[in-house]
Amino acid sequence: MKRELNEQRNFNFAAKGQLMVIVKLIGGLGNQMFQYALGRSLAISRDDRLFLHLEALSPSFTINSAPEATARSFALDVFNIEADITTLERLQSERANVIWTMTESGFGFFSEVFSECKIHRNVGVVGWWQSEKYFLENAETISNDFQFKDSYKSPYPASIAEQITQSDSVCLHIRRTDVLKDEDPKGPVELGYYARAIEAIHEQLPGARVFVFSDDIHWCKEELSLPLPMTFVSSESPDQLHPADDLYLMSLCRHFVIANSTYSWWAAWLAKNPEKIVIAPRTWYRADDPAFKGDSYLTSADLVPNRWIRV
């Protein structure tokens, strides 16, 4: 993987006590969770404090010349994370030392990130970091950090969570709104993937029930025809949902058919069932298709754990 390492001397910070690991958050909830997990693992390995920098959660921010197309909000506030929220102004007022920044250029696992960050300086990182390999040694800690706060209250009726926890539930996630755009590197997962995945689960779990989550529930109701009973999970006020509200219910499920989405990736990863079946699409990015003609730096080789099934 390509990477850029540069010393940002223009910050002119001075360290006071414990050094910092600073993560610049980009994108939606699933992306923020990967970035937090990498930063938390770096902070643990260095015995330093983690700071989350939020200025990049806007449509004007770019990484590798690709703009973040949608303005995003900080979405980790519902979790028991161990980090401080910071701004450039706060950093300038409280610290004075060179920040050594590491920018991830591309996708995949960059193992050198930990050795490169062993220097005795503040470290700032920006990137997607979409692999559990970055935090596998701290998996239990990350899982605990992503437990919902006791104060969290789901906007969905309690009966839905009860149905999920009291059945052999299968979370099926379909993502459509953004991936239908031609410029999106993922593209929509073809409908046949979901049919094949549910058929595989049906063979092993004939009594399972499918809970469908999507940003286009109407389309799902029209197009999905599966051999298992389905419950379509939707809100009467979707615009008022917190980004993590669906994730909460999804993570209660016992098994998963995920989309090419970090959102359902995390729902599956956080689920407690030790015997969970997780099925992921073989073609995560357009570049995963052998017939793809274009930039191949986008790869899901390190994104989907080997223990999950790809269809």
Domain assignment present for residue 150? The answer is no
Report in angstroms the alpha-carbon separations of 100 from 8, 21, 103, 265.
6, 10, 10, 30
In a shared domain, residues 56 and 115: yes
Same domain, 163 and 306: yes
Q: What is the CATH number of the domain that holds 195?
A: 3.40.50
CB 210 within 8 A of CB 231: yes
* Edge-to-edge strand ranges of the sheet holding 49-53: 2-8, 99-105, 122-126, 20-24, 49-53, 84-86
Cβ distance 256 to 271 under 8 Å? yes
288-302 pLDDT tens trace: 666 555 555 577 889
pLDDT tens readout for residues 212-221: 999 999 999 9
pTM (global) more than 0.75: yes
- Could you tell me if 191 and 301 lie in one domain? yes
Q: Which of 118, 145, 172 is the last residue of a domain?
A: 145
pLDDT of residue 13: 39
Which residues of the chain fall short of a pLDDT of 50?
1-15, 60-69, 96, 182
Say whether both 165 and 306 belong to one domain: yes
Residue 116 lies in a domain: yes
Q: Are residues 165 and 109 in the same domain?
A: no
Asked if the structure places residue 140 within a domain, the reply is: yes
Q: What is the pLDDT of residue 11?
A: 36
Same domain, 126 and 180: no
Give the pLDDT of residue 64: 45
Contacts of 238 (CB under 8 A, 6+ apart): none
Mean pLDDT estimate for the chain? 84
Domain assignment present for residue 181? The answer is yes
Residue 60 sits in the same domain as residue 199: no
Q: What is the rounded distance in angstroms from the CA atom of residue 29 to the CA atom of residue 34?
A: 9
Residue with tokens 């062993």: 118
What pLDDT score was predicted for residue 15?
Answer: 42
Task: Give the whole-angstrom CA distance, residue 170 versus residue 190.
Answer: 19
Q: Is residue 295 assigned to a domain?
A: yes
The token duo for 74 is 């900080």
Domain finish residue from 145, 175, 198: 145
DSSP states of the chain: -EEEEEEEGGG--B--SS-EEEEE--SSHHHHHHHHHHHHHHHHHHT-EEEEE-TT-STT-EETTEE--S-----GGGB----EEE-HHHHHHH-BS-EEEEEEESSS--THHHHHTTSSSEEEEES----GGGTGGGHHHHHHHTSBPTT---SS-HHHHHHHHTTTEEEEEE--TTTTSTT-SS-PPPHHHHHHHHHHHHHH-TT-EEEEEES-HHHHHHH---SS-EEE---S-GGG--TTHHHHHHTT-SEEE--S-HHHHHHHHH---TT--EEE-S-SSGGGSTT--S------TTTS-TTSEE-
Q: Are 267 and 175 in contact (CB under 8 A)?
A: no
* Residues 175, 134 share a domain: no
* Residue 153 located in a structural domain: no
Residue 178 pLDDT: 62
pLDDT of residue 9: 33
Q: What does the pLDDT read at residue 90? A: 72
The CA distance from 91 to 74, in Å, is 19
12: closest CA among 95, 75, 87? Answer: 95
Tokens of 294: 């274009």
Judge whether 152 lies within some domain. Answer: no
Q: Do 61 and 112 have their domain in common?
A: yes
| pLDDT at site 288 | 61
The range of the structural domain enclosing residue 76 comes to 2-145
151 in a structural domain: no
Rounded to an integer, what is the distance from CA 279 to the centroid of its chain?
16
What pLDDT is stored for residue 121 in this prediction? 82
Compute CA 61 distance to the chain's CA centroid, rounded to the nearest angstrom: 19
Asked if 16 and 40 sit in the same domain, the reply is yes
Overall number of domains in the chain: 2
Same-domain pairing of 234 and 175: yes
Last residue of a domain, which of 113, 145, 177? 145
> Do 305 and 164 belong together in one domain?
yes
